[in-house]
Structure 1
Amino acid sequence: MKKYILLFLTLLLSSAGLYAQSIYDIRNAIDFFESNKMQKGEYRRTLTANDIKGSPFLNDEFITGTIYTYQKVQFNDIPLRYNIYNDELEFETPDEQILAMATPEIVEKAVIGEHSFSYIPYQISKKMKRGFFILLEEGKVSLYARPVVLYQEPKEAAPYKDPEPAKFIQRPNEYYMRNGKDAATKVETKKDLVNFFPDHKEEIESFIKKNKVKPGKEDKLVLLAKYYNSL
């Protein structure tokens, strides 16, 4: 009898897994291009930067990825890359046009290689914005990385100095935490970390001290988020 019960539970769980996968209406890249055109009209071209040193991209090359929308549609096999400077998700069409996604607000998740991106609200300088973030840990509290690229204007020649071309400069990632569906907030100090977890303040303070958690240390921040989500 136990054998039959175990077999039934196994089949039940397998069926549940298949049902969970079928929640999304799976479509291909061509449908993605067409559906976005219908929703938002014409795409706008991205910034061309052939005369600028450095790179505005997380990865220069396009990587075949998947987009999951809030409308529960899954688009597979789309050549994607993330433009950090423009904060845009770019894609390459079958006729090799490089375009920026015109409807980022539909993106629940975009998986590009080893990175999973979310388009979420965040607060900075007391202003509310929306943008793409790399998801590092998801749960009651979610942790995100925000890549940063700065643009430096070209510099003219000066005494004892050669001219310098314009260039993109990659800076260390910034890190944000998000409580549920609230806007994500930037983690800048240890005080920010402690204040983010008021319901377990003592445990968090002890964990931060014991594990030497610092705002700029990604691996330590992931440990902290995982710890809190386990409480």
Structure 2
Amino acid sequence: MKRHFIVTVISVFVIGSFAQKPIKVDVGKPIFNQLWEDYQNFKKVEEEQASNYVGNPYRYEVDKGIIQLSSGEQIDNLILRYNVYKDQVEIKKNDRYYVVPKDKNISKFIFADHIIVLKVFDYSGKRRLGYLESIVDESACNQFVKHNIFLSPAKEQKPFQEAQPAEFIDKKNTVYISFNDNLLNAIKKKSDFLVMIPDHNEEIENFIKKNKIKFHKPESIKELVQFYNTL
């Protein structure tokens, strides 16, 4: 059985308190070493040869990333990157990248101004566990974005057509909404949102009409989510 994180820093925690500031810990300190020991099955990332493809499977890459633990502590100054294509967060130690296991003890990854969280979301009627970017969180109505990148296969040389390498291509992001921390559901049109809201239907309808909310634009949906949270 996998051990829980052992806290080696002297601290006092109020469980469930949102007001407490995270305790910052740098790489090389005991809690980071404990993190590494707890995940002895960190899988090495098999690096692809850049000459084999065009484009990039990564959305964010930072050298001062943060892992925030569910205990309230956070580990600073990490080299992190988010592989959208494989839906995995990778951490660099020494000269190698490793895949961070998807685990409830890690509450979020902070890539400068972007926060990546692990959530259960609805995908074509089935529940899936994966990473999404947090846009509006810790409110009655929360908004997330699922980044999408796919790999177009390589094309062989043909008469009058040169060979083409495989290519990573950005697809349209998917906006997800949840109410009161329930299952995340995709929002693609107005009716998707209206069927989810538990109350304030009239106010929401009026706001959508007055502000010309566009459901194909995440920033427009954000306006609607923020408005709902004021009701």
1:53 corresponding residue in structure 2? 54
Q: Which runs of 4+ in 1 moved over 6 A?
A: none
Figure out how many residues of one structure are paired with residues of the other and give that number: 211
Question: In structure 2, how many angstroms separate the alpha carbons of the residues matched to 1:147 and 1:74?
Answer: 24
Q: What secondary structure is seen at the aligned counterpart in 2 of 1:214? A: coil
For residues 1-231 of structure 1, the aligned pairs below 5 Å read 24-30=22-28, 31=30, 33-50=32-49, 51-59=52-60, 61-93=61-93, 95-138=94-137, 139-231=139-231
| Conserved 8 A contact 2:136-2:144 | yes
Q: What secondary structure is seen at the aligned counterpart in 2 of 1:62? A: strand
Question: In structure 2, how many angstroms separate the alpha carbons of the residues matched to 1:136 and 1:229?
Answer: 13
Per-residue CA deviations over 1:89-140 (Å, capped at 9, x if unaligned) read 11111x2211111244322122111101111111111111111111111210
Deviation at 1:40, TM superposition (A): 2.8
| Conserved 8 A contact 2:62-2:112 | no
Deviation at 1:54, TM superposition (A): 0.5
Deviation at 1:178, TM superposition (A): 1.2
Question: In structure 2, how many angstroms separate the alpha carbons of the residues matched to 1:191 and 1:65?
Answer: 38
Which 5+ residue runs of structure 1 have no aligned equivalent? 1-18
Deviation at 1:189, TM superposition (A): 1.6
Amino acid at match of 2:38: Q
CA shift in 2, pair 1:32/1:221, >3 Å: farther
CA shift in 2, pair 1:47/1:144, >3 Å: farther
Q: Which moved more, 1:198-207 or 1:101-110?
A: 101-110
In angstroms, what is the RMSD of aligned CA positions? 2.0
Question: In structure 1, how many angstroms separate the alpha carbons of the residues matched to 2:43 and 2:55?
Answer: 23
Rg larger in structure: 1
Deviation at 1:164, TM superposition (A): 1.2
Which 5+ residue runs of structure 2 have no aligned equivalent? 1-16
| Conserved 8 A contact 1:36-1:103 | no
Relative to its length, the structure with more helix (as a share) is: 1
Question: In structure 2, how many angstroms separate the alpha carbons of the residues matched to 1:152 and 1:105?
Answer: 32
